[in-house]
Structure 1
Amino acid sequence: MEETGLNLKEVDFIIDHAFREDIGSGDITSNSLIPESTTAKASMTAKADGVIAGLPIARKVFEKLDSNLIWKPIVKDGDRVKKGDLIVEIEASFRALLTGERLALNLLQRLSGIATETAKYVKEVEGTKVKILDTRKTVPGLRTFDKYAVKMGGGTNHRIGLFDLAMIKDNHIKIAGGISKAVLQVRQAIPADIKIEVETTTLEEVAQAADAGADIIMLDNMSNEMMTEAVKLINGRCLVEASGNMNIARLKGVAATGIDVISVGALTHSVIALDISQNICQI
C-alpha cells in the first residue's frame, strides 16, 4: 500500500480504532442471522459525478474481516467517475461485507468528496504556476487520509503538523519581540532542512519577513491589490502563499497577483461526501 502514498501502519491503526468504535465485541445482527461460511458478491457504485479516493483503504477494511477477499476495482484513486459508474466489485464473507460496509463507505465517501472538491480548485488555476495547498483543518486522527485525498484530487500537501514546518504567527511574533527576532530564534533552534514560514497581514510585515530570510511568506486575508504589491516587495526571495477566505470565485484573480501557492481550509474542513452505494449482488 506504500506505493499509493499511504503508510500501511497508519492505515491499520486508524481502521483498528474505527473497528473498536463501530464493531466492538461483534456485529450482533449479522452474526445472528448469517452463517459464518456464507459468501456473497457486492459492488460499489457512484451516485454522483466526482473523483475517487480511498479505494486501498476501503479494501483494507474488508481484508481485515476476510483475508480471502476478492477485490476487483473498476477504477483507481484519482480517476473521475460519473453518476452510475461501477467503482469496484467485491467477493467475500457475507458477514464481512455487511460488517465493514459502513466504515468502508464512510471513508471512501469522505475522501472522494475531498478529492472532488480539490479537483475543482485545481482546475480553476490550470495554466498558471499556482498550486493548491491543504491546511491542518482536518478531522483529528484522519489527517493522513484527508491529505492523501487532496493529492488524489491534484492538490499539494502543506505541512503535516506542527513538527515539519515552522509557522510563525502573530502570537509568536509578539512573544519574540518582532518578526526578525522570531525568525532568528526559530532558525537557531531547528534543523537547517526545516523551512520557516511567516504569516503576514500588512506590507510592512511582508518586508520584514523577506528581509529576515523567511522561506515562505503567507499573505493572510489580503486584497488582490495588496497581494500584488507584496509579491513585488518579496521579489522572488521566497515562496509566496495566499491564504484566508479562499474560494473558487477568487482563485483566478488571486493567481494573477503572482503568488506561488494558495492554501484552502475548505478542502478538508467543509467536506461534502461523494455519494457512493454498496449493493449485494449475489449470495
Structure 2
Amino acid sequence: MNWRSLYTLPVIISVGLHLILVLAVTIGWESSTIDPKPRVFKPNVVQAKLVELKAKDTAEPAQKKTNVIDLTKKRELEQQKAAAAKKAKEEAARKARVQREKKAKAEAEAERKRKLEEQRQAEAEAKRRAEKAAREKAERERQERIAQERLDEAMRKEEQQHQAELAEAQSQSYVNMIAARIEQNWSRPPSARRGMQVELLIQLVPTGQVVNVTITKSSGNAAFDRSAEQAVRRIDRFTELKNMQPELFEQNFRQLRLVFNPKDLRL
C-alpha cells in the first residue's frame, strides 16, 4: 500500500466538513435578511482537522487488509501474470520446438547411420560375392587349365607315340631294305652253320655312304664274320637314305647295329 492510499480518506472527510460549514453560514445569512427582527444566533463551532491515518500494524491479521482494493495494482498484477503466462507459454513452445528439433535431428542421424550401415553391409556383401565369384572363376579356370594341360599332354604323348610308331615303322622299312641289299651281296662261307650270328656296327652319313664297319659281336667263326663285313662294304652306299628325315637318320642310322642271323643256312 502506497502513501496516496493512506491520505485519500482523511482529505475527503476534511473537505466534506468545510462544505457543511459554508452551507450553514449561508443559510443563516439568508434568514437574517428576511426577518427584520434581529436574532441572536450563536453558531456551533465546527472544527475540522486533518485526520492522519497511520499504516496499520503489519502484525494485524491478513483478512483486515482486504478493505483496500488497488485496481491499478491489480491490473498491473494481472498484466504481469498475463505477461508471465505468455512468456511461460512461449518458453514452453520454444522448449517443445527445440525438443522436436532435437528429436527430428536424432531421428535423421539414426536414419543416416542406418542407411550407411545398410550401404556398408550391401557393399560388404557385394564384395564377398564378387570375391567368391572371382575364386570360383579362378578355380574353374584352373580346373579347365589342368584339364586342357592333361588333354594336351595326352595328345602330345599320343602324337609322340604315333610319331614313334611311324618312325619305328619307317626305320624298320629302311633296316629291312638295308638287310636285303646286304644279303644280296653276301657270299656265305662253306663253314657257315645255322645258329651263327654276328653283330656289325655300321657308320653312315646322311647321303647313305658307309664310312666304317666294325664287328661288335663275333659269331665265333672268322670266315662267317668276314663274309658279313665284306657284304656291307661291297654296297658302299645306301642311296635310299638320302630321302630320309634328318631326325630319323640321326636317331637310328648314324650308327646302325645289324645282326646277321640267316635262317636258311643248313645244319
State the TM bucket, normalised to the shorter chain: under 0.3
Point out which structure has higher relative CO (alpha carbons under 8 A, 6+ apart): 1
Larger strand proportion, structure 1 or 2?
1
Q: TM-score, normalised by structure 1?
A: 0.19
Q: TM-score, normalised by structure 2?
A: 0.19
Query: Larger Cα Rg: Structure 1 or Structure 2?
Result: 2
